[in-house]
Chains A and B, each alone.
Chain A
Amino acid sequence: MIRARGADGWMGRILSIYLVLFFFYMFGPLIIMTLAAFNDSPYPTVTQWQGWTLRWFAALFADRELWVGIQNSLLIGIGVMLLAVPCGLAAALLLTRMRLSRTSRNLVYGILVSPVLAPGILLGISTLIFWQNFGVGGGLLLATIGQTSFIAAYCMLLFTARLQRFDVTLEEAALDVGASHTQVFRRIMLPFLRPAILTSCVLAFLQSMENYNTTVFAIGGERTLMIEIAANVRHGLTPMVNALAVVLIAVTVALALAYELHRRMELRRTGRRAAAARAVDLRLAGKPTLQPT
Chain B
Amino acid sequence: MHAILDFRRRYGSLLTGYVLVAVAVWMLGIIVLPQAVMMEYSFWRLDRSHSAALDAEIERLYMDRQKLERQIRTIDRELRKPDASDAAGLEAQKVLLVGQVAAIEARLPEMEEQVTRPVKVYGADNYVHFLISELHWSIFLKTIWASVIVTVIAAVICYPVAYYIAHVASGHQAPLLMLALIVPYWVNELLRTLAWLMILSENGIANLLLRALGLPGFDWLNADAGVIIGMTYAYVLFMIFPVYNALETLDRNQIEAARDLGASWMRIHWRVIIPHAKPGLAVGCILVFMLAAGSFAVPQILGGVRSVWFTQVIYSWFYDHSNWNMGAAYAMGLLTLCILFVLLMMRLFRVRLEDIARG
A91-B23 CB under 8 A given contacts A133-B37, A289-B242: yes
User: What per-residue 1/0 map shows which CB atoms of A31-52 lie under 8 Å from chain B?
Assistant: 0110010000000111110000
Interface on chain B toward A: helix, strand, loop, or mixed SS? helix
Q: Binary interface profile of B, 174-188, with partner A (CB < 8 Å = 1, else 0)?
A: 010111111111111
Given contact pairs A110-B353, A284-B241, A233 touches B11 in the complex (Cβ within 8 A): no
Asked if A98 contacts B7 (CB within 8 A), the reply is yes
Q: Smallest CB–CB gap between A59 and chain B, Å?
A: 17
Q: A18 on the interface (CB 8 Å rule)?
A: yes
Q: Which of B19, B190, B205 contacts A46 (CB 8 A)?
A: B205
Q: Across the interface, which residues of B come within 8 angstroms of A210, CB to CB?
A: 188-190
Contact B327 A121 (CB under 8 A): no
**Cross-chain contact B22 with A87 (CB below 8 angstroms):** yes
Cβ of A103 within 8 Å of any chain B Cβ, yes or no, is no
Task: Please judge, given known A-B contacts A226-B188, A252-B187, A292-B242, whether A44 and B294 are in contact too, CB under 8 Å.
Answer: no
Most B CB within 10 A of own CB, among A44, A148, A217: A217
Q: Once the chains bind, are B182 and A260 in contact (CB under 8 Å)?
A: yes
Could you jot down 9 A-B contacts, CB within 8 Å?
Answer: A8-B265, A30-B184, A112-B23, A112-B27, A125-B327, A148-B30, A149-B26, A260-B179, A292-B280
Give the residues in chain B near A98, CB-CB below 8 Å. Answer: 3-4, 6-7, 19
A111 to chain B, nearest CB (A): 6
Q: A242, A256, A289: which contacts B182 (Cβ < 8 A)? A: A256
**Shortest beta-carbon distance from A88 to chain B in Å:** 8
Tell me if A122 and B334 are in contact (CB < 8 A). Answer: yes
Binding site for B on A (CB under 8 A): 2-8, 11-12, 15, 18-19, 22-23, 25-27, 29-30, 32-33, 36, 44-48, 86-87, 89-95, 97-101, 106, 108-122, 125-133, 145, 148-149, 152, 156-157, 160-161, 171, 175, 180-182, 184-185, 210, 212-213, 216-217, 226, 229-230, 233-234, 237, 241-242, 245, 248-249, 252-253, 255-257, 260, 264, 277-278, 283-284, 286-287, 289-293
Whether the Cβ atoms of B338 and A119 lie closer than 8 Å is yes
Residue of B nearest to A239 (CB): B198
Roughly how many angstroms separate A290 CA and B4 CA in the complex, as a whole number? 28
Q: A33 near B191 (CB under 8 angstroms)?
A: yes
